[in-house]
Structures are given as C-alpha cells and as structure tokens.
Chain A
C-alpha cells in the first residue's frame, strides 16, 4: 500500500477570518503546528472540506511567496461555503493539494508587461499571481490591474489594493463598479467596457478571471484592441471531486480542468468543445 494517497487530506486550522464583502470572506489556514500545509504555485487550487458537510475546490488566493500561511477568498454560494462562512477562528478543516496547472509566472510571463483583469470574486485566483509578480517586481515590466465589482462594498481585498498595490512603482490600478454609488468617485461601468476605454497597448500579457460573461466580452474587447489569444490567460471552473483527473467530473474534451487547468491560454480554449 502506498504511504500516501492524494484523496486523504491533512488537517488545517483557520487562524483568521476577514470579512471582505457582504458575501465573501477570506480564510487564513495553517496546519495544527502553525505551518503552511504545502507549497503551491500561483493559480493552483486546494480541496477544502468539513467532514459531514462536504469537500470543494478553491483557488489559493495567497501568493507562494507568503511562507507563513495560505489564504482562501470564498464566496458564500453553496453547502460547503455556507458552512465555512459561519466558521470561527480555531475551527479545523481538511485540506489537500495543490492541484492544477499554475500560471506560467517564471517562463511565459517573465519579463512581460502584465495586465490583470478581474471581476468580483474572480480576483481570488489573480491575487496569488499579482502578489507573486509584486514580490519579484524586477522580473516583470509594468503591471496594470483592472478590477470591477457590483459596488464598492463588493470589491475584494480593497484595503490591500488601495494601500499596497496602488502605491507600488510601475503598478497601475484601475477600479470600477457597476453602478454609481455615494462615496465613490472612481470609474463606473462594466469591466469589458472599461478595458476598451483604457485602450491598453498590445505589448502586454493579459490574465482574465471573473464571471463567464465578463470573460467572454473582455476577451472580445482585447482582441478588438489587437491582442492575440496567445497573449491572454484565464482560469476555468467546473465541478470537481478528486482533483487529479480520475473522477471524470471536470472533463471537457480531452482535458481535465483540475489537472490540465484551471489555467488555460485562450488559444487553448479554442481547441475545447464549448461546454465549460
């Protein structure tokens, strides 16, 4: 019998719960002896579970450069997430991973001007790669971040964005919300339109994450600006059980989103049948 089976998780402890938006909380997780459960690369995911409630896949929102803990920004939208949202500091859960193909931060992204575009909780997987690029700042060119949400209250990691990201040299943050709101003097409008208005030059590598409809229109906008699909990356999300391409659930075409993704380059998506 093999000593280890990936389906058998280890224990994690929630050491901090941050309320980000009305329906998103960010959970800090370490092992019972206070360490990181495992190393990961930006864009990879982990299976979290509460025995008796269920297990689900989440993107690891903290950067691998954080050597103390992992963070998960989780939107309340189902059994496991509802349960997590009422969990308190000190609560244990189970964790296994890391799963999936990460962003090519050390090869295809190296030396590039980066354009990150996120909508809503779609910032969760991008935060890992954004903070990785900020950590190794000299390995990348200019960084532009376009982030939009329904309202100011729905912007994830707002404090970090305003107080840290926006203050970095060579990092430009462009925030937008869907509708005008009192106390908001920033841009108002949907992400795809804002991207077109900002009119980015095509010397960038773009990374998109958000609701499917946002991805669709933003990608169209980037193509209209002259971007090639080989310059644009996104992440997919499908139902998963095993995380290692065996249970069959996240199979699309000849790919398994859990192991061949979740990160895909947009030209690779053209090879997949349209059912993701």
Chain B
C-alpha cells in the first residue's frame, strides 16, 4: 500500500495529467459534485458522490457513431471512430465501480460494442472507499463493500492522507507513474477507517434491504403483481431515474443532418418513455404502468436471469434522491418483494 498527503494530490494529478487526461469529482457552483477534467488547482470534492454517474465515461449521453455523404442515389459510409485516449477517473465509489461490471456484460458481450470497448480499454479507474455513507445508500444489498471498492486502484481518503492499493496491472502501472510522489504505508489507518465505516453502514436505514425475493426465473411471480398499478400511478415518465442510474443502458439511434451530410448518433433513452416501444403498427407498452414495470423487472429479474444472478442495480441511491415523486427501486423491492428491510 502506498500513501501521500491529501495536500499533495494536486502534484499527483499533475504528474498523471502529463500523460493521461484526469477526471475527478469537483464541487460545482450549484453545490453538486460532478466529474470534471482536472486542471491545476482544482480540488477533489468531499461530497459522497456525483449527481451524474460516471457511466458517461464509457457510455456517453450522446455519441456520434458514423457519418454519411449522399449524392443522388449513392451513399458513402464514413467510419469516424477514433481510438480513445488514455484517461484516469479518480474517486469512483464502490457502487459506481460495480456498475461498470453491469454495463460490461451488455456492451462487451458478442458482438462487442467497439465504441464502449475502446473507452473501457483506455480508462483507468481509481475508486474511493466510502467513509460517510448516507441514508440513501444500499450498495450492501447487492453485496458491494463500500469500504473496499474494486477498480484498477483503490484509494482511501482520511482527513490528511490518501492511501492507494493497486488491484490490476493497469492500476500497478499508474501507481508506478506516481511512485516518487507516494511512499510505502501500513494499512492500519485504512483498517481503522473501514471498521468505523462498517459500523455506520450497519446502522443505515436500508441496511437490511435484501434481494432475496428477486432474481432470474421470477417473471411469472412478479409480472402480474397487483402493486404495479399503485406504485406506478404517480410516475411522470420523466426518465430522471434512468438518466442518473449508473446501470441503465438503453439507447436510441438517431440521425442529424449537418447540412453537409448525415451523422448517425446514439443517445441515452428510457424504457419509461411512451415512445420507447412505439412502432408503425402499434405499441406493446401503452400505459405508464407497463413501462414502469419494465424498468424494475429488468433490473431485478430479467437482467439477473441473463447474467448469472447479477442485479442491474448497485444501490447508489441516486434515484432515491432525484425522483420528483419520490418513487424508487427500494419502494418497489419492499412492496413487490414483501421485504420490509
């Protein structure tokens, strides 16, 4: 394990930024933390997490896929793909690190999505252990240890020191790059912080929430549950939950006429939207109840059925704090799953 003084982080960021782009959570003028490209003097936020998840780094909200030139009856397809540049994301929380596993299963399964794969290959993740989890946190429900997040490098931040431990070859290479700025450390302080955090985690309001009732093969059990009606009644179909969710990955493919050709791009989409499934000959999900049910059934039943039991939720709590009508996956799990955790 390596360590450096918290006050030396600017030098660490500067050293890494000489060869890679560095991103870190920075407090914005609105008081919200957001992943921001590092520039000299930018301060690493103390916020628990960013409002937007880091999924943008690998699966951006909008991204150009290809371009076309048309002339008369002919069409030219232009491959505009570029290899991603190397980058490092600092301060990714345990829940969000886990979300990359969920996204990987979608985008890296055959046929591999080359856009996502290129970014994934060139991105280095420095996770940050939690020390002050909040009442909307429930990563433990999904077996995630907030005190020992995965990632290429795991970091622990105490009042005045940052500790680093490499988990992958990529992570070891990164720590090698900053070797001169860090020193060997014992893990005593980290262990002490972990113990303290675990006591806080155990007392959180959602500490006893379990996934026991859910998983693959439960479609019949839950699909026609009478509670979907009431749970979805107030849903505005705004899609906020989807957009802040680190694991939601549904996308649309659209086109834009540049005046000089056509660019085909993809952008995030939401199964909560009324036109998501609309076709020329009809729409197989006509009501908000059906769309609402799809989102949660996918996360709690369909996705795990296809992915060895892995749930498509990491308990980050963003939907709990951002839904305008205060509906969220926890309420769904408790109601549908009969779980009072």
Contacts and interface: CB of A to CB of B under 8 A. Distances in A.
Given A7-B66, A275-B290, A78 B253 contact: no
Given A51-B75, A241-B252, A247-B253, A275 B284 contact: yes
A253 B75 contact: no
A11 B253 contact: no
A1 B114 CA distance: 6
A257 to B, nearest CB: 10
Interface residues of A, number: 43
Given A8-B66, A8-B79, A11-B75, A251 B298 contact: yes
Contact of A52 (B82, B255, B285): B255
Contacts of A252: 284
Nearest to A6: B111
Contacts of A9: 77
A201 B312 CA distance: 47
A224 B302 CA distance: 33
B112 A253 contact: no
A108 B305 CA distance: 26
Nearest to B65: A7
Interface in B105-141: 106-107, 111-115, 117-118
Given A2-B114, A246-B107, 15 more contacts: A1-B81, A1-B118, A7-B65, A7-B66, A8-B65, A11-B77, A51-B75, A78-B280, A241-B253, A246-B249, A249-B250, A249-B277, A251-B294, A251-B302, A273-B219
B251 A242 contact: yes
Interface in B265-285: 266, 269, 271, 276-281, 284-285
A52 B301 contact: no
A207 to B, nearest CB: 20
A191 B266 CA distance: 41
A93 B262 CA distance: 13
19 contacts: A1-B82, A5-B111, A8-B65, A11-B76, A51-B70, A52-B70, A92-B74, A94-B75, A242-B251, A246-B106, A246-B107, A247-B250, A247-B269, A248-B269, A249-B250, A251-B294, A251-B298, A253-B302, A254-B302
Interface of A: 1-2, 4-11, 51-55, 77-78, 81, 88, 90-94, 237-239, 241-242, 244, 246-249, 251-254, 271-273, 275-276
Contact of B257 (A10, A52, A90, A276): A52
B219 to A, nearest CB: 5
Contacts of A237: 279, 281
Contacts of B264: 51, 55
Interface in B7-40: none
